Amino acid sequence: MLRKLLSEGGDLPDHFGRDEVVVVLRDYYENLTDKVEIKTHKAATGS
């Protein structure tokens, strides 16, 4: 679920992790040149 949020530019939960880690992950996902669809299953969405 976090990969999907990051790849779509969504907001992460406040409790996700350290700010410097979030910065690195956001930079990585924002600069991917080959985007792929991230499919989630029922358990990952909490449904």
Per the rule left: phi > 0, alpha: psi between -120 and 50, beta: everything else, 25 is alpha
Question: DSSP assignment of 1-47, as one string?
Answer: -HHHHHHTTPPPPTTS--HHHHHHHHHHHHT-SS-------HHHHT-
pLDDT at residue 35 in the model: 65
Q: How confident is the model over 1-47, as pLDDT tens digits?
A: 778 788 888 888 888 888 898 899 889 888 887 766 666 666 655 55
End-to-end CA separation in angstroms for the chain: 12
